[in-house]
Amino acid sequence: MTVRWEKAAYVLWIVALALLPGRAYGMHISEGILPPGWAGFWFLVAAPFLVLGMRDLRIRAGRAPHFKTLVGLVGAGVFVVSCMPIPVPTAGTCSHPCGTGLAAILIGPGQAVIVTSVALLLQALFLAHGGLSTLGANIVSMGVVGGYLGYGAFLLARKVRAPWPVAAFLAGLLSDWGTYAATSFSLSAALAGGGSIAALFRMILAAFVPTQVPLGVFEGFLAAGAYRFIRTRRPELLELPAEGWAP
């Protein structure tokens, strides 16, 4: 490939980028970005969490058959919330809340991983948001890191006797930020090539900071508001995580 050809291709690419419509979904790692090795690696990381989630689902659905309909419902909630695009001018893309923090405190982190995997597959197939080969990486960042971090923050906050809304706020906030940090790491580890993973990680993370910091706060308020509302109207729904296997 000659240098002249490379220059021309580069310019064409940038022109094409400028001509594309502005709206884009940027949080999920797009189809085709991860090399096969990394894509496979993230599937392997996600697999044990999916197996544990399925085991938990089988046990709890055995006790109460309607449990699956509730999990499906929370899955739809994660699907809808993670489809709300918010522009990220510095990254040239869009960001969005994740909903996994709230899902984890409602149905437990194991089920949060399951509903995240379902939501991600449906988004990949029917919205071209995320992808099939990047499903493993996206499950890890959004379901595993987001779900478990949010749930852990919630438990920890309750342990130090923080009020319920504060604990729910922290779950929403940290699950969102954790998801973005994990996504940035997945991308930088896969794309650094011979360069520094840490430098690329900082760069990708920095690109999302201007919107992700307020977006995480927004997600925290959303989780706190929804949690407070459910606690007031239907407190029995909040017993669910304690019923199941919630490591």
Partner 1 sequence: MVELFSDIFAGRDNALVRLDPRAKLSVAVAGILAALFSGGATLPIAVFVVCLSGLFAVRIPARWVLARLAGPAVIASVLVLLQSFLVGATPLFGVSVAGVRFTAMAEGARHGLLLGARVLGCSSIVLLLGSVTPAHRVFHVLRWAGVPGGWVEIAMLTYRYTFVLLDQAAEVSAAQRVRLGYSGPGRSLSSMGILGGTVLLRSVDQASRTAEAMSARGYSGQIGFGPMGPMRRADRLVAGVAPPILLAAYLLAEGMLP
Tokens at 175, concatenated: 């699950």
Scanning residues 1 to 60, which ones bind partner 1 (CB under 8 A)? 1, 3, 6-7, 9-10, 13-14, 16-17, 20-26, 30-33, 35-36, 39, 50, 54, 57-58
Scanning residues 180 to 209, which ones bind partner 1 (CB under 8 A)? 187, 191-195, 199-200, 203-204, 207
Cβ-based nearer residue to partner 1, 17 or 160:
17
With CB under 8 A as the contact rule, the residue among 46, 98, 104, 118 that binds partner 1 is 118
With CB under 8 A as the contact rule, the residue among 131, 136, 150, 241 that binds partner 1 is 131
Stretch that binds partner 1, among 119-127, 137-145, 156-164, 173-181 (CB under 8 A): 119-127
User: What is the bridge-based pairing of β-strands 93-95 and 86-88?
Assistant: antiparallel
Stretch that binds partner 1, among 41-49, 77-85, 139-147, 149-157 (CB under 8 A): 77-85
Q: What are phi and psi of 244, to 5 degrees?
A: -100, -170
Cβ-based nearer residue to partner 1, 117 or 211:
117
Scanning residues 142 to 181, which ones bind partner 1 (CB under 8 A)? none
SS3 content of the chain, % helix, strand, coil (to 5): 75, 0, 20
DSSP state at residue 130? S
Length of the chain: 247
Return the biggest CA–CA distance within the chain. Answer: 68
With CB under 8 A as the contact rule, the residue among 45, 52, 61, 156 that binds partner 1 is 61
73 contributes a contact to partner 1 by CB under 8 A = yes
Q: What is the DSSP string of 31-66?
A: TT-S-HHHHHHHHHHHHHHHHHHHHHHHHHHHH-TT
Instruction: Give the CA distances from residue 36 to residues 110, 185, 191, in Å, rounded to whole numbers and listed in that order.
Output: 27, 17, 12
With CB under 8 A as the contact rule, the residue among 221, 238, 243, 245 that binds partner 1 is 221
With CB under 8 A as the contact rule, the residue among 224, 241, 244, 246 that binds partner 1 is 224
Q: How far apart are CA 147 and CA 133, in angstroms?
A: 21
Do residues 133 and 28 touch, judged by C-beta distance below 8 A?
Answer: no
